[in-house]
């Protein structure tokens, strides 16, 4: 039945055109944003998961920055400890060899003491200079914390976040302290490693015994400083491993988010072309349906 009031053909064509236009708008949005789930209304579950994962990735990025700061701090202290251990040209190793040399009968110990004094000053200067971002574990003061926590990881199980950390005890690395309790300034016997003075010693048996005590003391200091350096070396390797893992984990999370919300651009491109053709056909069909009522006029001529 033909009717002037109700054009069912035009209504059908209009509904089809509206549907095609809506799909076309959605496809164009996906192409412009690169995401098939960009708002909660697109897919509430996937959007919620992706949002949480993005927040976790931001936390992992902060962990990565903290690991960089921790790595720089540990490397500074490790380098200084290695320098204090020294070799045949300086540090505790050279100090030990000078003390052994000082046991030689008739040697001028005053001149040897001049070298020892320079080494002592050099080691103190190295410890004082081992500061990064205001942190110094080798030359501590009364306000230096007893422990330091280095952020190492972040994880979230359900709604509970967990921040992993590496705890370091300052006393394990202190060479000089405000209370003279460090490896190099702690008094053992007559002096500390920092205050050894052999200028007045002679070839007497008592003085030779004193020299033996100094040698043993320096040897013990070498072992302690080397142990502290080895410990920091292990921490340094752990931080490096954690840094690589965190970066890999961030990439993995990014890929996971992409699988949830990213649009398949090949698929969307194909869909866009098809919908554009459908839209053109829909417009043409609606035009034909609207023009069909014109044929009714011929009945009244």
pLDDT over 80 (residue 296): no
Residues 233-269 pLDDT 10s: 999 999 999 889 889 989 999 999 999 988 888 888 8
Kindly indicate the confidence band of residue 299, based on its pLDDT and cuts at 50, 70 and 90: low
What rounded mean pLDDT belongs to the chain? 89
> What percent of the chain clears pLDDT 70, i.e. is strictly above it?
95
pLDDT over 90 (residue 152): no
Please report how the helices 205-261 and 91-101 are oriented relative to each other, as an axis angle in degrees rounded to 10: 170
pLDDT of amino acid 3: 65
pLDDT of amino acid 4: 64
Residues 78-88 pLDDT 10s: 999 999 999 98
pLDDT of amino acid 121: 96
Kindly indicate the confidence band of residue 21, based on its pLDDT and cuts at 50, 70 and 90: confident
Mean pLDDT, rounded, for 200-205: 93
pLDDT of amino acid 232: 94
pLDDT of amino acid 120: 96
pLDDT over 70 (residue 44): yes
pLDDT of amino acid 91: 95
Mean pLDDT, rounded, for 97-119: 95
Range of weakest confidence among 19-33, 65-79, 97-111, 184-198: 19-33
């Amino acid at each position: 039945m033909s009717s002037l009031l109700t054009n069912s053909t035009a209504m059908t064509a209009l509904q089809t055109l509206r549907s095609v236009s809506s799909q076309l708008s959605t496809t164009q949005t996906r192409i412009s944003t690169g995401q098939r789930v960009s708002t909660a209304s697109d897919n509430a579950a996937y959007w919620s998961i992706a949002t949480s994962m993005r927040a976790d990735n931001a936390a992992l990025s902060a962990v990565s920055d903290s690991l960089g700061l921790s790595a720089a701090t540990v490397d500074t202290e490790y380098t200084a400890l290695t320098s204090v251990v020294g070799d045949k040209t300086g540090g505790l190793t050279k100090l030990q060899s000078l003390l052994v040399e000082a046991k030689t009968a008739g040697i001028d110990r005053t001149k040897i003491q001049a070298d020892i004094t320079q080494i002592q000053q050099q080691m103190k200067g190295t410890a004082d200079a081992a500061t990064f971002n205001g942190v110094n574990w080798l030359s501590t003061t009364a306000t230096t914390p007893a422990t330091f926590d280095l952020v190492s990881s972040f994880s979230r199980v359900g709604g509970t976040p967990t921040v992993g950390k590496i705890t370091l005890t300052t006393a394990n690395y202190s060479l000089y302290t405000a209370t003279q309790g460090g490896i190099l300034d702690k008094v053992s016997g007559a002096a500390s490693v920092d205050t050894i003075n052999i200028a007045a010693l002679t070839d007497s048996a008592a003085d030779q015994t004193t020299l033996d005590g100094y040698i043993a003391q320096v040897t013990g200091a070498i072992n302690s400083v080397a142990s502290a350096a080895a410990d920091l070396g292990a921490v340094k390797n752990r931080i490096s491993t954690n840094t690589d893992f965190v970066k890999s984990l961030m990439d993995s999370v990014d890929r996971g988010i992409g699988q949830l919300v990213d649009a398949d651009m090949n698929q969307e491109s194909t869909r866009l072309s098809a919908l554009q053709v459908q839209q053109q056909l829909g417009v043409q069909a609606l035009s034909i349906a609207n023009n069909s009522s014109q044929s009714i006029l011929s009945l009244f001529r």
